[in-house]
Amino acid sequence: MPQETYRIPAHFIAPLINADYTSLSDNEEIELNTWLKNVNPGSATCPDGEPFFSHNNDINNLGGDCYDVVFIN
């Protein structure tokens, strides 16, 4: 199966893994759904370990706590 790794902000993990958008603002939900539509990364796997600080990420290029998440297409 083809796999791709993306650096994802920690607060987007619950929506990606559990489809639980309750912790996101309306703008964050739009931002995530736009990224999913444009990139079509496939299904997210649960990240390993603790989040880490990164100066950018693959969704909005902002710094913050992130995970490297493997997506299976």
- Looking at residue 29, its pLDDT comes to 96
**To which residue do tokens 């993306």 refer?**
6
**To which residue do tokens 């920690």 refer?**
10
Q: What is the pTM of this model?
A: 0.92
Mean pLDDT of 56-68: 97
First-last CA distance in the chain? 7
- Looking at residue 51, its pLDDT comes to 98
Element (H, E) at 35: helix 26-39
- Under the banding of pLDDT at 50, 70 and 90, the label for residue 52 is very high
Using CA atoms, how far apart are residues 68 and 51, in angstroms rounded to an integer? 9
* pLDDT tens digits, 7-48: 999 999 999 999 999 999 999 999 999 999 999 999 999 999
- Looking at residue 1, its pLDDT comes to 82
